């Protein structure tokens, strides 16, 4: 009964490649998020969707493009991967501004 799931768990790829991370929540929430945790373990929000509409778009390179096909799914596509994109990416969901629930994370390593 996983609440927020992400695939893949690990992603190792070379510079310049394009990759996607998928997220699904079965909590019936209306809002989903992408966070990035850097090497110093600091968490920062990247994007947020409410009812499939983008509501938060932080200062993130436009190589990162989120897509929400429906309220239960939020995907993150990254073009032309760079070494600095290596991090752990977390998906989260909430009902409006209430408690946020996080997925297990996707560890992206760019070589």
Burial bucket for residue 77 (CB in 10 Å: 0-12, 13-18, 19+): middle
Binding mask 23-42 for other proteins (x = CB under 8 A): --------x-x------xxx
Q: Is 18 exposed, middle or buried (0-12, 13-18, 19+ CB in 10 A)?
A: exposed
Instruction: Give the interface segment with other proteins, choosing from 20-28, 66-74, 79-87, 103-111 (CB under 8 A).
Output: 103-111
Of 21, 22, 20, nearest to 79 by C-alpha is 20
66: contact with other proteins by CB under 8 A: no
C-alpha span between 93 and 25 (Å, rounded): 7
Structure tokens at 86: 């290596």
Task: Indicate the residue among 44 and 63 with the shorter CB distance to other proteins.
Answer: 44
105 is a site residue for other proteins (CB under 8 A): yes
Instruction: Based on the shown chain and the rule CB under 8 A, indicate whether residue 70 belongs to the binding site for other proteins.
Output: no
Minimum CB distance to other proteins, residue 72 (Å)? 17
Number of residues that bind other proteins (CB under 8 A): 26
């Amino acid at each position: 009964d996983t609440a927020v799931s992400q695939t893949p768990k690990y992603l190792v790829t070379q510079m310049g490649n394009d990759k996607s991370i998928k997220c699904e929540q079965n909590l019936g929430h209306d809002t989903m998020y992408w966070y990035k945790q850097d090497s110093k373990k600091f968490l920062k929000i990247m994007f947020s969707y409410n009812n499939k509409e983008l509501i938060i778009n932080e200062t993130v390179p436009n190589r990162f493009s989120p897509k929400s096909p429906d309220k239960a799914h939020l995907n993150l596509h990254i073009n032309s991967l760079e070494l600095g994109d290596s991090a752990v990416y977390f998906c989260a969901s909430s009902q409006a501004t209430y408690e946020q629930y996080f997925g297990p994370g996707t560890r992206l390593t760019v070589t």
